[in-house]
Amino acid sequence: MAPDQSHANISTAGYKAAHPGRVRCNDVWFPIEVEGTTGNSSRYIHIGHLSEGCVTFYELLKWNDIYDYLIDKRMKEGKGKYIGKLIVEK
């Protein structure tokens, strides 16, 4: 899903501080909607080093590319609310 709100209240400022001028949008998290439900499942795609079931990018300097890709891929269907499908396979 498209980003819902700033997650600056979660300790993400340190990631930006670790690489001054090189990490952008560290407080932007992309919610994941689980198939068969409606809305945010409380799981996200985000920058970080800890996860409670989210898709977490710990390679900080790659976050800008991931962010740019996701923000640019909003689907016309759903009025920009969705970006695509995340498929998890065993």
Q: What is the pLDDT of residues 23-43, one digit of tens each?
A: 898 889 999 988 778 877 888
Beta strands in 5-66 (DSSP E): 30-32, 43-47, 55-57
What pLDDT, on a 0 to 100 scale, did the predictor assign at position 10?
Answer: 67
6 token code pair: 């700033």
pLDDT greater than 90 at residue 64: yes
| Rounded-to-integer distance, Cα 33 and Cα 44, Å | 9
pLDDT greater than 80 at residue 9: no
| Rounded-to-integer distance, Cα 12 and Cα 26, Å | 6
Distance, CA of 64 to chain centre: 11
pLDDT greater than 80 at residue 12: no
| Rounded-to-integer distance, Cα 50 and Cα 9, Å | 15
